[in-house]
Structure 1
Amino acid sequence: IAEAHRTGMGVKETPPVISQASRDYGSIMPSLTAEQERTGLTKKDLEMLDAGHKRQALRQDAEHLNRVRKVIPAFFKQVPVLRHLAPHSKALMIDLVQPGYYTRGQTVCDNGRSLMLYVVSGEAIVTDTTQQHRRVRRGEVFEGDELSRVSPTARLVCATQGCLTATLSSEALEGLREAHPEGHRHIRRQMDLAALWYTGDRDGSGLSPQSVRKWASDLRDAASREDLAKLRMMTDAHPHLVDVADPDQLEGSALHCAALRRRGGSVRVLLAAGASPGVRDRDAH
């Protein structure tokens, strides 16, 4: 050693002996990720958590799909003005109907919104700052315009633990105009005629639903008998009602009746009065 110091040569150290067991242990030690170091969880724990999140996401997706499959068919079946739309019209409107889920106390519909809302499950209540007005129960249809007729502060609020709804807003329906102008025009026409049948002529002659139905029945009868004088008198009085038809009747409008019975005179009078040859009957003919 003294000679080594004198000559300036260092002593070469022998590296420590590493046993085979130590080598094996080192080879199986997992390399920690930043997430493991931050949380203190093992890789297996993190994988289990990740699988749990995936299962929860899949469950939520399944619940959403179940709601959509349940809500949208019920919406078209229960809303009167949509019940008898032709299949291709419903297909255009599928994406416009929005399912919604609300908890107790949440606002389902604000004042001033023009929409049709169907309560699939639960209940909602029309209320303002002073009192409660009426309940909208499961299976009932609610029109947003009703709120403005109650009071300026009225709103529709979820009254049960949960409330599942389907909503079609006028904004969504108008958005269809740009994408499918012809389809939009046909849908609006069908809805307007159905509204006359179910709600009466509130913006025109003031006829009640019962009066509109009686008028449409008399018009079909006159067309079937080819009573041209009565046809002209009726269509002159209410030309905008000429296409009104009973959605549950196979014969449909007065023009359908005249065509089925080959009443050429009735067909000419009705067409001259503005009857649309594109109006469909119950079987979409």
Structure 2
Amino acid sequence: MFKNIIGHKRIKNLLQGSVQSAYFSHAYLFVGVEHLGKFTLALEFAKELIGIKDDKHPDILILKHEKNIISIKAVRELQRKLNLSSYKAKYKIAIIDNAHFLRKESANALLKTLEEPPKQGIIILIANSLGSVLPTIVSRCQIVKFWPVSNKEMRLFFLGNNISPAKARKINKIAHHRPGIVLRAIQDSKYLKEQENYLKDLQGIFKGDLIFRFNYAEKLSKDKNIAQEVLKLWILNLRVELLKKQNKSCLLVLKNLKDALYLLRTNANARLVLENMMLNIN
């Protein structure tokens, strides 16, 4: 059980113990930053409960956001299915990915199900942070906190998969102990190269003049999703540098990037946001 999942030994033991004892919470909240393997582990847990090997089954219901919104209509449809009798299994399991995208009315509708859960129903919510989910929902779930995978677990994984030390160092620089990024970098060399280039671009921005920075901002603004991923990568690497050097200017740049990332998640004009960010990088 969970043998192909990197790290998270404590969580795997917890869930495995629940399966073996047949003692579960009616609702779980898996919390942690992106790419830690929360959804993967939730799905594997659901498959163990149902007793299947395939990812798809009528008794496993998966709800994802559409354009960063989980609507009340989608929640009500999930509730309808969850209240139906199970197809063959003993349980019906709902996985709500990116639950931080629940609108207030959607969250309130879901709250009714959490307060009076179906007898055979188990709900697993997945979110980036506790603060992004309504406190009333948080209070009705068993919290399962995910953390970046330890150095030891990463070394064991790389050794077990014959990843060379040189490649492991490259992957670690972009992954920051996040299994989802590690696996993608191993499977897709083009992706690994792209991420390495984004880190080089950051150094170029520090050294470049305003014309270079504005040209880069224009290029990056063409895809808002990619822009957000690039800023997240830069933020993670600057945090590491900050821990090493305790540099005040690095701290200011980090704040500037975080502010820009926040605005990119709204309807703000991406190019204006990125150009303003470039103006404030020293």
* TM-score class normalised by the smaller sequence: under 0.3
TM-score, L = length of structure 2: 0.25
- Higher RCO (CA < 8 A, seq sep 6+): 2
TM-score, L = length of structure 1: 0.25
Larger-gyration structure (1/2): 1
